[in-house]
Each structure stands twice: as C-alpha cells, then as structure tokens.
C-alpha cells in the first residue's frame, strides 16, 4: 500500500494500528516518490529448527526392534 505523506500525517495512528493488526507494509511517498516504509515489528522470536517438534510427537512402541511380520523381501 502506498500513501502520500500528507494523508499519512493526518491518519498516522490509525495506519500504525492497521500495520500492526494486519501485518501490511505501507510505503509513504512525497511528490509521488517513496521516502519511507512503515512495517510491523515481529514480537516473537523466530523458532530455531532444532527441537521445534519437541512435545508435539508421541512415540508409541519400540521403534528400534524389528517387527514380527515377514516381509516379501525377507523371503
């Protein structure tokens, strides 16, 4: 979204709330040329890939020992 500096000045607080709530960037222009960008701040730290599935998976049974069924490949 682009907005002229004069309109941004008149609606600044409302536009800041919109950026926060809808995570939408606003480019502020002066005489039709971009001069600034209003972007939302990410409050949350990005999750690291290590351990991101912790406490989300339940292992049922022994995953190491072989099963008792014969496969056609084993015959």
pLDDT digit string (tens) for 2-57?
A: 999 999 999 999 999 999 888 889 999 999 999 999 999 876 666 677 777 777 87
Label residue 62 by pLDDT band (50, 70, 90).
Answer: confident
- Cα separation values, 61 from 5, 8, 33, 55, 65, Å: 63, 61, 63, 17, 9
Yes or no: say if 43 and 20 are a contact pair by the CB < 8 Å rule: no
Q: Element (H or E) spanning 61, and its range?
A: none
Rounded Cα distance, 9 and 21, in Å: 19
The pLDDT value given to residue 64 = 73
pTM: 0.55
Residue 58 token pair? 């339940």
The pLDDT value given to residue 47 = 63
Select the more confidently predicted residue: 66 or 36.
36
């Amino acid at each position: 979204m682009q907005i002229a500096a004069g309109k941004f000045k008149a609606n600044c607080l409302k536009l800041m709330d919109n950026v926060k709530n809808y995570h939408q960037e606003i480019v502020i222009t002066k005489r039709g040329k971009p001069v600034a960008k209003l972007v939302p701040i990410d409050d949350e730290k990005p999750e690291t890939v290590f351990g991101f599935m912790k406490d989300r998976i339940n292992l049922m049974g022994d995953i190491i020992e072989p099963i008792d069924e014969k496969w056609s490949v084993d015959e």
